[in-house]
Chain A
Amino acid sequence: MDAYLIPAVDGVAYGLLLFVVAAGLTLAFGVGDVLNLAHGTLFAFGAYAAAKISDGSWGSLALAVLVGTAAAGLGGALLSLLLTPLAGRGHLAQALLTFGVALVAGDRLTAMFGKDELALTVPKSLDRPVDLAGHSYPGYRLALIIVAALIAAALFVVVSRSRAGHFVRATVDDREMVAMLGVSPFTVRTSVLAGAGALAGLAGALGAPIIGAGPRTADLVLMLSLVVVVLGGMGSIAGALVAAIAVGEIQTIGVANPDLSTIAPFVLFGAMALALAARARGLLPSGRSA
């Protein structure tokens, strides 16, 4: 059991990171009614910002986080603008448009930053092992767990307590009713997509040392967060948290154990297909509440 302690803690770090990304995707789907296939690319914005700007000092990390979050937030707002003419055309057109944007942005990112995985530098005071129940553990990951948990807590407070959060939850429940209250659906969608993008960029800037910054990052993050969103109930933030931790554990324990590493992807996508099919047949509640 002891051999699984470190991967299990790694799984929490990975899972919380995934939660920050997937929370954005689930909000975009539940609130904005947008299936955003460019979400992984927004994560890559943050990851590349961290790889290029962060050089080991705290100031550079803060700048990277700021730049990555702002760039991805702007990207989300731009997506919302691009989606405006598609009102009433359904998810298929949205999926194609956002996938097209992801292809274009991915090509530009590769042209700017090259085809290789970039090396990541973390602040020196965090770049050393700490003692964790008799094991040495990378300090950056422990710090990431704390920061990601804080972000998750802040997100819960914003969604459940603030006025903006009320509108977010109300829109998930009844979009037309919110529109009749005088809140423009365009404003709601744009702010949610910008916020979702900012979350993805933030997660990218903080999580690049764990997930990586390269041409394959966007696809990996998109696939994992789609699994999280689906398992979490498509629109539910609490569900996404549970699902993200589970996916993080499966990923890291699977990688740590060669016997399990073969089956990890099957567990993820198999669970996703079964959850969707079960919901389609009415076996699971639809869980559409934030």
Chain B
Amino acid sequence: MRFLRYLLTLAVLALLVSFAWTLDRYATGMLTRILIIGLLAVSVALLTGVAGLPTLGQTAPFLVGAYTTANLIEHGHTIGVVHLLAAAGMGAAFALITAPLVVYARGVVVLMITLALGELTSTLAGRWKSVTHGTDGISVFTSVTPLPGLADLDTESSRYIYTLAVVGVLVGVVLLVLRSPAGALLRATRDDARRMRASGHPVAGYLTVAYVAAGALAGVAGALLFTEQSYVSPGDGGFDVAALILLAVVIGGATSMVGALIGAGLVVATRDWVAEAGHAPLLLGLLFIACVYLLPNGLLGDHAALSYLNRLVRPRSRPAPPSGPPPAARIPAPRAPAAADETVSEPVSEPGAAR
């Protein structure tokens, strides 16, 4: 079974590599964009599904990475690895600075804090003209060299292979880390932060590490974006992009990194290919609505983990109120034998005690 999975992974990778020669320029460009948005979606899934911090703000480190790369190229640095490292570093630094705002909150509050952070960053990108050239954006047409001595990335298919290599390695690393004890600690923090804290685990510390790592991933995605389109403007990291990526992650199932990549593919293909004739908002909106109704757990989501996520996303710990008029039976019977009642309810009241 395990052998089959390796074989399948290898086959998919080989197929993806072969696309560089078999597809036309337009399709290759779209696959490159899917991989870039996919890496960004992986960083969102890492936070939303694994760490339990639903985010609309990963476009912020994404923009930071893209502008870092743009400035490096403007100053004559065209080595790809330098861009990736610098963008990852700046994305991580951005996350480290904003972490105190994010990691102490839960659920819908995180969604709104990160929304504000994303809006702040794209507004800043529109105003800080000396670094970002304002709303016009930065446009530099220079080919990037992945490593000194390698050929320039001057064709669509070479940029595709470069993006595929970077995204493939990073997603592989994320998957390995999530299978290690570090991933288990993160999932445990999502499932029951109070218990983790009680057992002496630094919950905020774990979440900060996850948030900084996700910031670095988003920064790298930003670097790849600039390499691909030789252009970046504040609109590349607006609220609509953030919502689109959250949709991709939810389609994929929130807890699954591969699901996030597939979701990104579906969303970008809808935006750029199916909706070529216009009405992209209409089709995307219908996609949002359809997947909320039809895919409550996403394509590859972990059902048990998602029920925790849904609970986390509510602002209060109370369960959902019933929809529809409450039947009379819902009114609890008077607590007649008080002493007996308490002894029964005591062990049950500890959340997760049965596990």
- The distance in angstroms between the C-alpha atoms of A154 and B205, with both chains bound, is 48
Residues on the B chain within 8 Å of A82, using CB: 289
Specify which of B116, B291, B296 is in contact with A269 (CB 8 Å cutoff).
Answer: B116
CB pair A90–B313 under 8 Å, yes or no, is yes
Interface size class of A (residues with CB under 8 A): 35 or more
Q: How many residues of B contact A (CB 8 A)?
A: 58
20 A–B contacts from the bound complex (CB under 8 Å): A89-B296, A90-B309, A91-B313, A92-B111, A96-B291, A97-B288, A97-B293, A100-B286, A100-B287, A100-B288, A101-B288, A103-B282, A103-B284, A175-B321, A179-B330, A185-B321, A269-B116, A270-B116, A276-B101, A277-B100
Residues on the B chain within 8 Å of A103, using CB: 281-282, 284-285, 288
CB pair A88–B281 under 8 Å, yes or no, is no
Most chain B beta-carbon neighbours within 10 Å: one of A89, A108, A180: A89
Q: Does A153 contact B (CB under 8 A)?
A: no
- The distance in angstroms between the C-alpha atoms of A90 and B48, with both chains bound, is 13
- The distance in angstroms between the C-alpha atoms of A53 and B48, with both chains bound, is 45
Distance in angstroms from A265 CB to nearest chain B CB is 4
Q: Does A86 contact B (CB under 8 A)?
A: yes
Q: Does A85 contact B (CB under 8 A)?
A: yes
CB pair A273–B281 under 8 Å, yes or no, is no
Specify which of A85, A87, A270 is in contact with B293 (CB 8 Å cutoff).
Answer: A85
Show the binding face of A for B, using Cβ within 8 Å: 33, 35, 82, 84-93, 95-97, 99-108, 110-111, 175-176, 179-180, 182, 184-186, 219, 223, 226-227, 230, 262, 265-266, 269-270, 272-274, 276-277, 279-281
CB pair B292–A97 under 8 Å, yes or no, is yes
Tell me the B286-309 residues at the A interface (CB within 8 Å). 286-289, 291-293, 296, 309
The 4 nearest A-B residue pairs measured at CB: A100-B288, A103-B285, A280-B105, A104-B285
CB pair B119–A280 under 8 Å, yes or no, is no
Distance in angstroms from A127 CB to nearest chain B CB is 33
CB pair A273–B113 under 8 Å, yes or no, is yes
Show the binding face of B for A, using Cβ within 8 Å: 48, 54, 100-102, 104-109, 111-113, 115-117, 119-120, 123-124, 127, 239, 243, 246-247, 250, 279, 281-282, 284-289, 291-293, 296, 309-315, 318-326, 330-331
Main secondary structure of the interface of B (DSSP, over half): helix
Residues on the B chain within 8 Å of A182, using CB: 325-326
Interchain Cβ contacts within 8 Å, total number: 166
**Closest A residue by C-beta to B250:** A96
- The distance in angstroms between the C-alpha atoms of A87 and B319, with both chains bound, is 11
Specify which of B113, B124, B243, B312 is in contact with A276 (CB 8 Å cutoff).
Answer: B113
- The distance in angstroms between the C-alpha atoms of A107 and B288, with both chains bound, is 14
Residues on the B chain within 8 Å of A266, using CB: 120, 123-124
Residues on the B chain within 8 Å of A281, using CB: 104-105
Residues on the A chain within 8 Å of B310, using CB: 88-90, 92-93
- The distance in angstroms between the C-alpha atoms of A185 and B115, with both chains bound, is 29
Specify which of B54, B320, B324 is in contact with A88 (CB 8 Å cutoff).
Answer: B320
- The distance in angstroms between the C-alpha atoms of A104 and B275, with both chains bound, is 13
CB pair B289–A97 under 8 Å, yes or no, is yes
Residues on the A chain within 8 Å of B313, using CB: 90-92
**Closest B residue by C-beta to A272:** B116
Distance in angstroms from A214 CB to nearest chain B CB is 15
CB pair A95–B289 under 8 Å, yes or no, is no
With known contacts A180-B330, A277-B101, A104–B282 Cβ distance under 8 A: yes
- The distance in angstroms between the C-alpha atoms of A230 and B282, with both chains bound, is 29
